Amino acid sequence: MKNPINENLYDLLVVGGGPAGLTAAIYAARANMKVLVVEKEAPGGKMIKTGTIENYPGCERIDGPDLAMKMYEQTVTLGAEFKFNEVQHICKTEELIFENHLTNGEIILSKAVILASGTKENKLGIPGEEELYGKGVSYCAICDGAFYKDKTVAIVGGGYSAITEGLYLSKLVKKLYVIVRKSHFRADNESVRRLEEKKGVKFLMNTEVKKVLGTDRVEGLILYNNQTNATREIQVSALFPYIGATPLTKIVSDFKITNSLGYVEAFDDKLETSVPGLFVAGDVRAVPLRQIAIATGDGALAGQMAVEYIQALN
């Protein structure tokens, strides 16, 4: 194999600093690989936007940012490098080396890549959402919840994220509407029960938000009941949508490794894609459930398999 002599050549480049990416970097760094993690925001991924985590093994109860920092510190201590930037495009050279193009024009070379880029929150796509973003419309309760202490706010969504952030907000706000388009939740019954029992929490099932009201700030919502066809208005100071996410896979579009929903399909049980040396881990992978524990498991497997791939090249 031809190895270009370049100080930017890494054994492994990890795209994304969430739980999957950090775990992968930990495994590779412990194997004495030269590892670089590229993350455009704070390390931890969605953990830094999560109030309290209660389903991660070994941590009965821990704040998301605290768990993120613990993972990050462990990664750095083991010798992995970090670059706070964004990978825009990945291609592979004839010498079997990956070229990772960053937003600042820099090109990082690596023998292997683990794509752990995660997902981006979906938007409701309704009038007022874009106009009032940052003025009461927020996609991060832990970031902005404190601004609405003792006020009335609404969360949209019936999955784990909506319930988790609802539990966090219920400690701060006077009243919390939980707006769910369907007649049921996609989260576990125990979490739903705990939120339902919180003071000031009201579930609005079979309900959709049609418009965000307000000029300089959020003042209310227009709601539509898809069972009765009734429309009504409620007053709120903030809206927190949690309606799923879109995988961040544009950077590997040339490789044709995504499914119809945009998620990356692993080629085998080693989490390697159909492109040799390109592995996938975490929320960006096509899996039926996206949780921190699953992401770290992915990271461990992809990290170790990438190590074995790299060792076989030498």
pLDDT, tens digit, 9 for 90 and up, residues 88-132: 999 998 778 999 999 999 999 999 999 999 999 899 999 999 999
45-56 confidence digits (pLDDT tens): 988 877 778 788
18 and 116 fall within a common domain:
yes
Q: What range does the domain containing 273 cover? A: 9-121+245-313
pLDDT on residue 5: 44
259 and 221 fall within a common domain:
no
Task: Name the residue among 209, 206, 205 with its Cα closest to residue 192.
Answer: 205
Q: Which of 22-26, 160-164, 166-170, 217-221 has the lowest mean pLDDT?
A: 160-164
117 and 251 fall within a common domain:
yes
* CA separation, residue 108 to residues 88, 235, 255, 279 (Å): 11, 50, 18, 17
Contact, 220 vs 233, CB < 8 A? yes
Contact, 85 vs 104, CB < 8 A? yes
220-249 confidence digits (pLDDT tens): 999 999 999 999 999 999 999 999 889 999
Q: What is the mean pLDDT of residues 293-302?
A: 96
User: Distance (Å, rounded) from C-alpha 111 to C-alpha 43?
Assistant: 23
249 and 232 fall within a common domain:
no
> Which residues fall within 8 angstroms of residue 144, CB to CB, at 6 or more apart?
138, 238
Q: Which CATH number covers residue 237? A: 3.50.50.60
110 and 249 fall within a common domain:
yes
User: Distance (Å, rounded) from C-alpha 290 to C-alpha 287?
Assistant: 7
Task: Name the residue among 47, 68, 256, 16 with its Cα closest to residue 161.
Answer: 47
209 and 273 fall within a common domain:
no
Q: Give the pLDDT band (50/70/90) at residue 6.
A: low
Structure-token pair, residue 64? 């998301």
Number of domain units in the chain = 2
In a domain, 130, yes or no: no
Average confidence score pLDDT of the chain: 93
